[in-house]
Structure 1
Amino acid sequence: MINDEYFLAALRLASGNDPIPGHVSAAARDAFGLRVPRAVTAVPAEWAATRGVRGAEGPHMVRFVAAGLTFDLEVTVGDGLIDVAGQVCPAPAEGSHVDVRTPHLTLTRHLAHSGQFAATGLPPGWLSVVCHRPGQAPVQTRWVRIRP
């Protein structure tokens, strides 16, 4: 059953008599600005990782997969900040790099020959990693929310 107040608000919005609040429009523009054109999105994958698994207080392990790449991320929260240690497999070609992103901060890291990278001191909240490879479309992880 549709709530009458919700229905009337939807009608006002559709008729143009109830403008979209400025903060909603600003949030939509900010979210649109976070997109990576032509990027392939890596999705979370099941990971039966027994190595490096820690207790509830330790790092959180997460894996993303797309376009022949696997992102393994170890996320640690300490002192209210986030540290990310990651590896892209197989290791991309020379000249590849990753952007470790939050909505308000991007840290660019060159990949080691093994595909490893690290970023420290990130604010808690939403996080995504984008791998840039010469001559190929970028591959980005889905946004994940990391809470302290």
Structure 2
Amino acid sequence: MINDEYFLAALRLAAGNDPIPSHVSAAAREVYGLRVPRARTATPVECAAIRTSSGPRDDDGSHLVRFVSAGLTFDLEVTVGDGLIDVAGQVFPYPGEGALVDVKTPHLTLTRRIAHNGHFAATGLPPGWLSVVCHRPGHAPVQTRWVRIRP
């Protein structure tokens, strides 16, 4: 059953009688700015090969996660230390000469070249939301889903 108060508020909003709060509009614009046009999304997958006996988080505080999409696999090891995040990753198969990754937070993007073995690293990121985007010449970008990394 629909609550009458919520229904009337939705009608007022749809009719333009109740303006959208400015903080909601600002947050929506900020999130929209984080998108990568034409990017395919890599989703997290469970993988026994990268899990440790203690689960996805090692004793040293590192977190292992795998993302898969568009013929690419991302293995990321995220370590939190001294309040900052370090990311060591591998993209495979090797995406080719000239491929780059962007390691993104909502307020910072670090661009790294991908080594011939597919490895890359980024250090000193703030804790919070994180995504990695692989840019391959001649292909649409592939972006991991956003994950929240807490200290």
Task: Please state which band the TM-score falls in when normalised by the shorter chain.
Answer: over 0.9
Alpha-carbon distance in 1 for matches of 2:57, 2:148: 19
| Counterpart position of 1:40 | 40
Percentage identity across aligned positions?
A: 80
Alpha-carbon distance in 1 for matches of 2:40, 2:57: 30
TM-score, with structure 2 as normaliser: 0.91
- Where 2:46 maps in the other structure, the secondary structure is coil
| Counterpart position of 1:145 | 148
TM-score, with structure 1 as normaliser: 0.93
Corresponding letter in the other structure for 2:18: D
| Counterpart position of 1:85 | 88
61-70 or 45-54, which moves further after superposition?
A: 45-54
93-102 or 55-64, which moves further after superposition?
A: 55-64
| Counterpart position of 1:134 | 137
1:101-112 matched pairs, under 5 angstroms: 101-112=104-115
Corresponding letter in the other structure for 1:61: L
Alpha-carbon distance in 2 for matches of 1:147, 1:3: 37
Note the C-alpha offset of 1:56: 4.9
Structure 1 residues not aligned, in runs of 5+: none
| Counterpart position of 2:9 | 9
- Where 1:118 maps in the other structure, the secondary structure is strand
Note the C-alpha offset of 1:91: 1.1
Alpha-carbon distance in 2 for matches of 1:143, 1:119: 16
